[in-house]
């Protein structure tokens, strides 16, 4: 039977409503002197207490960290997977046969996947943008592929994350206004197509998936407002802020967050993509952001940079050679109870793989400790006095 246009619209709305009721967000507390929030996201794979930092598991694995360590030592509540990388390797056939990424990598808590847009657009010389989508060549073997708003939904359905992202174009922080405007208009058109396809399809593995649009607009307040209004009008389960920490000054990033969060609905989680340093997290939390991800804690950790409650340490420095005190005297991470600065420095100098593992676990655990502390102070009502003290403390070079 052929469905009328009106009937099709009703069906899509009904389908959207069916998906919308699955992921829940509760706003529990707001700091009385700022926009900092404490909330709770409920998914079919578990609860996420916000504000939250999400370790990045680009290829189905958080580098140098075992899933048991993510749970017990880092205390991660949700991790990320990368659509671009997982699509290329191990590939959708393998993931579907496994029953999705949760079954494939053994992680039974929530997962978020980005759309792969950032990775595709960063290829620059190996991709071509059209209204249809983005054609690109694999960084692995040079093979040609196409991402569209529709097939990215299908790919993320197959990967099986609890939260999936819309395909967008991530413009560089230095883009001129006209380019940023054309890019945003196309991203908006892609969002409409992606939402329609999301409503027309179903999850594959018996649990619900939420679809987050992404606010773009580069560093132009006018474009950011337009984008935030367009995204907010879609009434999705949550919303993301993209295209920041891509070359623009830090104070401009904070300004864009403020502009966007004046518009994005307060009863939906707000996810700031790919940001950032511990100080970035606290500043963004103060401005009303709930969710974060970044490769910095693991990438910097593998190179010997540790973030602690006392400040930042380069573990390869000679000053730690015979320092037998804990890495962080406040015990913000599991490693602090077992390993001294001297031992960790020795491992780095000796090029031992354990150094990268310990440092990655430490940094991730510190990030999770930091957002948990922020949450505690939001609930207690003294975030605005705690935050500047913590920023001054953790920004020191030790």
State the DSSP H helix or E strand holding residue 310, giving kind and residue range, or none if neither.
none
Give residue 124's pLDDT. Answer: 62
Least confident of 8-12, 204-208, 248-252: 8-12
Handedness of CA 91, 92, 98, 99 (dihedral sign): positive
Tokens linked to 61: 């694995």
Tokens linked to 89: 């390797």
Q: What does the pLDDT average to over 332-341?
A: 80
Q: What does the pLDDT average to over 317-322?
A: 98
Distance CA 191, CA 117 (A): 13
Q: Band the pLDDT of 300: cuts 50, 70, 90.
A: very high
The pLDDT tens digits for 379-397 are: 999 999 999 999 999 999 9
CA-wise closest residue to 74 among 363, 365, 293, 371? 365
pLDDT at 302 over 60: yes
Q: What does the pLDDT average to over 246-269?
A: 96
What is the residue-averaged pLDDT of the chain? 92
The pLDDT tens digits for 337-383 are: 789 999 999 999 999 999 999 999 999 999 999 999 999 999 999 99
Higher pLDDT, 157 or 119: 157
Distance CA 34, CA 28 (A): 15
pLDDT at 232 over 50: yes
The pLDDT tens digits for 47-89 are: 999 999 999 999 999 999 999 999 999 999 999 999 999 999 9
Q: What are the backbone dihedrals phi and psi of residue 77, each rounded to the nearest 5 degrees, phi first? A: -100, -20
Give residue 123's pLDDT. Answer: 67
Q: Which long-range contacts (CB under 8 A, 24 or more apart) does 91-100 make?
A: 92/155, 92/158, 92/159, 95/158, 95/159, 95/160, 96/158, 96/204, 99/160, 99/205, 100/158, 100/159, 100/160, 100/204, 100/205
Please name the residue that has the structure tokens 């949450």: 375
pLDDT at 10 over 80: no
Higher pLDDT, 10 or 45: 45
Q: Band the pLDDT of 241: cuts 50, 70, 90.
A: very high
What is residue 55's three-state secondary structure? coil
Q: What does the pLDDT average to over 212-233?
A: 98
CA-wise closest residue to 74 among 87, 99, 57? 57
CA-wise closest residue to 167 among 180, 154, 182? 154
Could you write out the DSSP letters of every residue in 209-230? -EEE-EE--TT-HHHHHHHHHH
Q: What are the backbone dihedrals phi and psi of residue 286, each rounded to the nearest 5 degrees, phi first? A: -60, -30
pLDDT at 2 over 70: no
Distance CA 70, CA 80 (A): 12
Catalytic residues: 114, 293
Give residue 334's pLDDT. Answer: 72
Q: Band the pLDDT of 5: cuts 50, 70, 90.
A: very low
What is residue 201's three-state secondary structure? coil
Give residue 14's pLDDT. Answer: 39
User: pLDDT > 70: what percent of the chain?
Assistant: 93
Kindly list the strands in the beta sheet with 37-43, ordered across the sheet, starting from the edge strand earlier in the chain. Answer: 24-30, 37-43, 46-50
pLDDT at 122 over 80: no
Q: What does the pLDDT average to over 284-309?
A: 98
What is residue 150's three-state secondary structure? helix
- Highest mean predicted confidence (pLDDT) among 19-33, 130-144, 270-284: 270-284
Q: Band the pLDDT of 247: cuts 50, 70, 90.
A: confident
User: pLDDT > 90: what percent of the chain?
Assistant: 85
The pLDDT tens digits for 15-25 are: 444 444 489 99
């Amino acid at each position: 039977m052929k469905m009328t246009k009106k009937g099709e619209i009703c069906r899509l709305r009904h389908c959207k409503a069916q998906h919308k009721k699955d992921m829940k967000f509760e706003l529990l507390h707001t700091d009385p002197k700022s926009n900092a929030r404490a909330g709770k996201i409920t998914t079919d794979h578990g609860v996420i207490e916000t504000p939250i930092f999400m370790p990045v598991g680009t290829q189905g694995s958080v580098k140098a960290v075992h899933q048991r360590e993510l749970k017990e030592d880092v205390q991660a509540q949700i991790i990320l997977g990368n659509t671009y990388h997982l699509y290329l390797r191990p590939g959708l056939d393998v993931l579907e046969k496994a029953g999705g990424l949760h079954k494939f990598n053994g992680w039974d808590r929530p997962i978020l996947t980005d759309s792969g847009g950032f990775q595709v657009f960063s290829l620059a010389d190996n991709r071509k943008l059209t209204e249809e989508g983005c054609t690109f060549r694999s960084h692995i073997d040079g093979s040609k592929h196409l991402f569209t708003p529709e097939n990215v939904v299908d790919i993320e359905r197959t990967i099986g994350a609890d939260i999936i992202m819309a395909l967008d174009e991530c413009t560089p922080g230095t883009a001129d206004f006209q380019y940023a405007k054309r890019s945003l208009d196309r991203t908006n058109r892609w969002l409409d197509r992606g939402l329609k396809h999301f409503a027309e399809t179903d999850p594959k593995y018996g649990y619900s998936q939420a679809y987050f649009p992404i606010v773009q607009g580069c560093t132009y307040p006018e474009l950011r407002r337009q984008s935030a209004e367009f995204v907010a009008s879609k009434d999705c389960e949550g919303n993301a802020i993209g295209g920041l920490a891509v070359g623009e000054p830090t104070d401009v990033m904070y300004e864009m967050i403020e502009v966007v969060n004046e518009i994005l609905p307060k009863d939906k989680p707000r996810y700031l993509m790919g940001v950032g340093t511990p100080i970035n997290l606290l500043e963004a939390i103060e401005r009303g952001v709930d969710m974060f991800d970044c490769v910095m804690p693991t990438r910097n950790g593998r190179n010997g940079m540790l973030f602690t409650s006392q400040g930042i340490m380069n573990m390869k420095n000679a000053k730690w050679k015979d320092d037998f005190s804990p890495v962080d005297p406040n015990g913000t991470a599991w490693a602090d109870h077992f390993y001294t600065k001297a031992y960790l420095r020795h491992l780095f100098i000796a090029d031992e793989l354990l150094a990268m593992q310990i440092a990655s676990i430490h940094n991730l655990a510190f990030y999770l400790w930091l957002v948990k502390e922020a949450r505690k102070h939001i609930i207690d009502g003294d975030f605005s006095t705690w935050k500047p003290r913590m920023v001054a403390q953790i920004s020191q070079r030790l």
